[in-house]
A and B are shown apart, each in its own frame.
Chain A
Amino acid sequence: MLGYLATRLLGYVGVILFGVTFIFFLPRFLPSDPVEAMLGKIQSQGQYMEEAQVEALRSSLTDAFGLKGSLFEQYGRFLKRILITGDFGPSLAMYPTPVSELIRNSLPWTFGLLLSTVLIAWVVGNAVGLIVGTRPNWKISRVLEGIAILVYPIPYYVLGLVLSIFLSYIWPIFPLTTSVQGAPWTWEFVVSVVYNSFLPAASIVLVTFGWWLLSMRALSAAIAEEEFVHYARLKGISERRLLGGYVFRNALLPQVTFLALQLGLMFNGSIICEILFAYPGVGSLIYTAVIQGDYNLLMGTVATSIIAVATATLVVDLVYPLIDPRIRFK
């Protein structure tokens, strides 16, 4: 048990270090000097700045890019900033609000959106995929599989765009951008959140539903042909137990592994969806940072995304042994 936990935790730390190291070195390999580029951008936005202010900004930016001191010192400071203190300095666009506060306010939105969509799509997709895989000759199975094939390859944001064209412009049922009303956690607030999140959530659910359906179909069709299933059927076990206990249980394991591998991709997709619908999550925050040239905010949000996705993956990994009785801890 401890061995398993230690390996996973080591992997977790490794992945975060890998990602953070990547974004540490990235600005160094780019042809332009990021500090001067940012400075030029801020100045070109028409603000007049004193020489001293420019110097202060330059040193703050140099620090944000982790470019102060020797390479070794820089790396140490960079890691400390991201992993230990979680301090990314003040936001340049919304000065002087700390970046960490902005991130803290938007994380629950992204978390809520992804958690609910992933759960809905995973549960429904797997349940439907089981039926499609084990009853391939039913008409409804073919129709559902056809829909999944058509929907799955479409990127989230294109589907989101199509949904918003039809359900916000042509038939204005859902809002085009997110504006939540009501005091936090009143009934009005909850209804407003669900209503406003419907379109971004629907585009994520539809696409991932297609993926879970297709992979579950393939898995359950293969497992239904296995000998232990035939044997159980000959023994006279009810069809329901056969599907639930024999086929589904075995197909579930690879689906959980897939879930862990897909979290990063889903996060990518949700970023663009959030931007499209002005949903107040981390994705929109990243966009604000890009548009405003707010480097502190950009570095903070990117680092946070890496840590968040790695943590979510770790959680899925830790759940895995709970549903796979074949894993033995030594």
Chain B
Amino acid sequence: MRAWFSSARIFWGGLILLLFVIVGGLMPWFAPADPRAWQTYPRNRKPSLDHWLGTTNLGQDIFWLLSWAIGNSLLLGVIVAFFATLIGVIAGLTAGFRGGLVDRVLSFMMDATIVVPSLPILILMASILKGQASLPAIALILIAFNWPFPARQIRSVALSMREREFVHMAWFSGESAAAIISRQIFPYLRTWAMANFINTILVGIAVESSLAVIGLSSADQATLGTMIYWALKYQAILAGRWWWIGPPVVAIILLFVGLFLLASGLGQRSQEARGR
């Protein structure tokens, strides 16, 4: 029953994510014009055969803009997740296996970074950089704030692994530390690292879009958050232009539910694999 449930989560989450990867990763290549450019099409059109999701007040086609925004949001999330997980795994393993002072310093940095509220600091940075805050700069700061979550967990796993028999066995038979980590311990963490990776994609996209919604993300790029920002700025809700504000909101909800289903499904898998 439980195994079925966890794979149902992975199935639906994976399906939703696949849809987004197709829409965000492939569709933008077929866009007839730069979706970000203003005044390309007639303004404020309702959805029709010509414009599947209608057009914005700025004369952009919402369907192509949305696919472009999804692509950017996903790319940002994946980059943040990749580096945050990588740094987290390295820091966590180092802290867990080295112990002593190294562990204490690293642990303090993890705890402090988790407790410090990141969004005010991001807002501070973005507002100083106003206009120049590029997506890579935002990604960099997001990585700086997101590595401690995997690091903490990896550290605690490493601490418990250190005393397991098969690890002792490997030590005594003369395996190097790198070989033990990659061959004995990593298989245990593989599924978990994937779950964390997916989860960090979610966090990355969420934080970038919250910055964007208050107008602090990159001014000349389109992400799901900036789409909502422009729609709010031009009073799309008051004017009853549901086709403008609706698609990015629905897309964000669907994307996050998909990512969460996938992450939690993988998380359950990894718990089962570790025999818990």
Closest 7 CB pairs of A and B: A153-B260, A268-B119, A153-B256, A18-B112, A19-B116, A302-B120, A290-B127
List A40-68 residues whose CB lies under 8 Å from chain B.
Answer: 41
Residues of A within 8 A of B209 (CB): 155, 158
Residues of A within 8 A of B130 (CB): 37, 41
From A11, A265, A272, A299, give the contact of B214 (CB < 8 A).
A272
Closest partner residue, chain A, to B248 (CB atom): A158
Number of interchain pairs (Cβ within 8 Å) = 132
Pairwise interchain contact A268-B118, C-beta atoms closer than 8 A: yes
Binary A-proximity of B113-137 (CB < 8 A = 1, otherwise 0) = 1111111110111011110100000
Residues of A within 8 A of B115 (CB): 15, 261, 263-264, 309-310, 313
Binary B-proximity of A25-42 (CB < 8 A = 1, otherwise 0) = 011001110100100010
Residues of B within 8 A of A264 (CB): 114-118
Q: How far is the CB of A109 from chain B (nearest CB, A)?
A: 16
Pairwise interchain contact A302-B257, C-beta atoms closer than 8 A: no
Residues of A within 8 A of B132 (CB): 31-32
From B108, B112, B213, give the contact of A272 (CB < 8 A).
B213
Pairwise interchain contact B117-A149, C-beta atoms closer than 8 A: no
Q: Is there a chain A Cβ closer than 8 Å to B179's Cβ?
A: no
Residues of A that sit less than 8 Å from B by CB = 11, 14-15, 18-19, 22-23, 26-27, 30-32, 34, 37, 41, 149-150, 152-155, 157-158, 161-162, 165, 169, 214, 222, 261, 263-265, 267-269, 271-272, 275-276, 286-287, 289-290, 293, 298-299, 301-302, 305-306, 309-310, 313
In this complex, the member of B109, B124, B130 whose beta carbon has the largest number of chain A beta carbons within 10 angstroms is B124
Give the interface SS of chain A, mostly helix, strand, loop or mixed. Answer: helix
Residues of B within 8 A of A271 (CB): 119-120, 123
Q: Is there a chain A Cβ closer than 8 Å to B95's Cβ?
A: no
Give the interface SS of chain B, mostly helix, strand, loop or mixed. Answer: helix
A287-B214, A309-B116 as given contacts; A298 in contact with B260, CB under 8 Å: no
Closest partner residue, chain A, to B238 (CB atom): A169
CA distance A27 to B240 in the complex (A): 41
Residues of A within 8 A of B238 (CB): 169
From B111, B128, B206, B237, give the contact of A32 (CB < 8 A).
B128
Closest partner residue, chain B, to A33 (CB atom): B128
From B113, B116, B117, B210, give the contact of A155 (CB < 8 A).
B210
Pairwise interchain contact A37-B128, C-beta atoms closer than 8 A: yes
CA distance A158 to B166 in the complex (A): 47
Q: How far is the CB of A41 from chain B (nearest CB, A)?
A: 8
List B96-118 residues whose CB lies under 8 Å from chain A.
Answer: 108-109, 111-118
Q: Is there a chain A Cβ closer than 8 Å to B90's Cβ?
A: no
Residues of A within 8 A of B213 (CB): 157, 272, 276
Q: Is there a chain A Cβ closer than 8 Å to B245's Cβ?
A: yes
Residues of A within 8 A of B158 (CB): none
CA distance A265 to B146 in the complex (A): 12
Identify 19 new A-B residue pairs, CB closer than 8 A, beyond the known A158-B209, A301-B120, A306-B121.
Answer: A14-B112, A15-B112, A30-B129, A31-B132, A150-B257, A153-B259, A154-B252, A155-B206, A157-B210, A169-B238, A264-B114, A265-B117, A267-B117, A269-B210, A286-B120, A298-B123, A298-B124, A302-B121, A306-B117
